[in-house]
Amino acid sequence: MLSFLGYAMRRTFRNMRGNLFPNLTAIATIGISLLIFSSFSLIAFNLASLLKVWEEKFEAIAYLKRGISLDEVEELLKRIRQLDGVETVNYISPFDAMAFMEERLGGQKNLLEGIQPAILPSSIEIRLKKDYWGRTKIEEIVSGLEGVPQIEEIQYGQEWIETFSVIVKLARVTQWILGGLLLAAIIFIISNTLQLTISSRKEEIEAMQMSGASPAFIQIPYYMEGFFQGLLGACMAAGLLFLLYQVVLVAITPLMKGWLAGIPILFLPWETIARILLGGMVLGLFGSFLASMRFLRYGR
Amino acid sequence: MIQMFSISKTYPSRITVLSDLHLEIQAGEFVFVAGPSGSGKSTLLRILFGAEKPSSGEVIVNGIRLTRPGFKKIHRLRRTMGIISPDFKLLENRNVMENVAFPLEVKGHAPNEIEGKVSGALRRVGLQQREKDSILSLSAGEKQQVVVARALVDDPQLLLADEPTGVLDNRMTEEMMEIFSELHQKGTTIVFATQDTSLVQRYPHRMIPLSAGGRGVVEQSEGV
């Protein structure tokens, strides 16, 4: 068995060397196809993790009317703290809001020169307990505050989060539709590359058949060839994806960093990378199986 | 060893090469299948090693019914055969020794065993000096010798030889026939297809005549 595997490996690599250009083309095409698919996976993965972080930072902001006294603010803070589901309450004065904006703008904070903090409204940040992160709960709290005369407006970003969820779902659907199309293309490419290999080895295959080689003995090196094409293509895709990820990390602007509010851009977890590699191998095997069914029929 | 019952072969182009052929060859027998071009000699041999399927009839080789529907173990039978085809089927990217070693490699023989058997087979056909030479450097006659060495290398139970002397001169033909005779004496069954009637007459083996146009076997006679 081991000697057969050694023989099959030697034949596989000889076949691949003998048809180097078609093999490299197949590996590159598989690599690029899987790169497109895994790029969408990476985007969807990061959007989903961003969504999760936002959901976890879930808070409502109540903007206050102008001219309300500090006593009224104190009263209001006390009232909000007593509401069910409220974890913390934080008053943001116009000066705090200005300082926050300056911090966010970093080197570009001179854009705010000449702007008086007084033009910014004061607000109250209301952070909710984890059990209250759902839409229904937050709406209950918000509706309880809506009648308060000192509050101008309440924003809690629910619509934004819902829109974002739709974007994440769309990215996932696109990923799988594209994945399906690319999958068919990969199988087609591998099958056709192996057809070329099989044609160029026709004499050898006939000689094997005449000598009594079993169908498995003849077919296994071609299965292995498809397997290696898929594996190498998938490795190439994973490598390029990591490179692309590093480029995005380096190229990202400070403004973008500010927008992301310290949320890291993540690489795909190793389980997903392992699945991509496994997918490449399975696709390779399947493509070679199809080629073998079409072109390696025994005898007759 | 070989039984054929009412074998007919008609190609999709509607050309009938074999028609209602009955034949029985005993184990250890040496038979000539003789007839002109187009009489179905090659087809008959190809049916015997399962490269062709007859249009009708039954074929039994070594107790295995090749015509059984769904029969898929032809490779097992071929392992007991030596096959010589007129178009050589040699691998041009391998040298003489590698070509002869090929069936042994396929059957999974150990490297030292392969070496011994290959040297023996090349010695038998007189090509031991050329074992490292490329196939492309050989004459047609030498290629035929390599094909014979490849067919003999694993001491087959059944040798199916299609025009094995077709490209050989008289001297080499005699040498080749001597090799076949030795093999026959050791107990190998030999089915030798040829259109050379003088060759058939020189050797005292049974002849199965095929007539042109696929009219099948009309008689079986002993050579002189």
- From chain B, the residues in CB contact with A213 under 8 A are 75, 106-107
In order of their start, the domains of chain A are: 2-54+161-295 (no CATH), 59-155 (3.30.70.3040)
Q: Across all residues in chain B, what is the average pLDDT?
A: 88
- Decide if A114 touches B, using CB distance below 8 A: no
Best probe of the B interface among A2, A17, A209, A211, by most B CBs < 10 A, is: A211
Q: Is the pLDDT confidence value at B216 over 60?
A: no
Mean pLDDT, residues A238-255 taken together: 84
Residue bearing tokens 């490209």: B167
Distances from the Cα of A183 to the Cα of A31, A216, A226, B115, angstroms? 12, 26, 14, 46
**pLDDT of B16:** 87
| Chain segment B21-51, per-residue pLDDT in tens | 899 999 999 999 999 888 899 999 999 998 8
What share of chain B has pLDDT > 90, as a percent?
54
End-to-end CA separation in angstroms for chain A: 28
Tell if the CB–CB gap between B106 and A208 is shorter than 8 Å.
yes
| Chain segment A257-284, per-residue pLDDT in tens | 666 666 778 899 999 999 999 999 998 8
Q: Is the pLDDT confidence value at B217 over 70?
A: no
DSSP-based three-state secondary structure for B18: strand
Query: Confidence band (pLDDT; 50, 70, 90) for A46?
Result: confident
What share of chain A has pLDDT > 70, as a percent?
90
Q: Is the dihedral of CA A213, A214, A215, A219 positive or negative?
A: negative
Give me the DSSP letters along B42-101: HHHHHHHTTSS--SEEEEEETTEETTSTT---HHHHHTTEEEE-TT----TTSBHHHHHH
What is the distance in angstroms between the Cα of A208 and the nearest Cα belonging to chain B? 7
For residues A280 and A30, the answer to whether their CB atoms sit within 8 Å is yes
- From chain A, the residues in CB contact with B117 under 8 A are none
Mean pLDDT, residues A30-47 taken together: 88
Q: State the Cα–Cα distance between residues B194 and B197, nearest whole angstrom.
A: 8
What is the model's pTM? Answer: 0.66
| Chain segment B170-208, per-residue pLDDT in tens | 888 999 999 999 999 999 999 999 998 888 999 889 999
Q: Ranked by mean pLDDT, which of A153-162, A188-197, A247-256, B129-138 comes out on top?
A: B129-138
Q: Is the pLDDT confidence value at A222 over 60?
A: yes
Which tops the pLDDT comparison, B92 or B188? B188
Tell if the CB–CB gap between B89 and A210 is shorter than 8 Å.
yes
Q: Are strands A86-92 and B221-222 parallel, antiparallel or unpaired?
A: unpaired
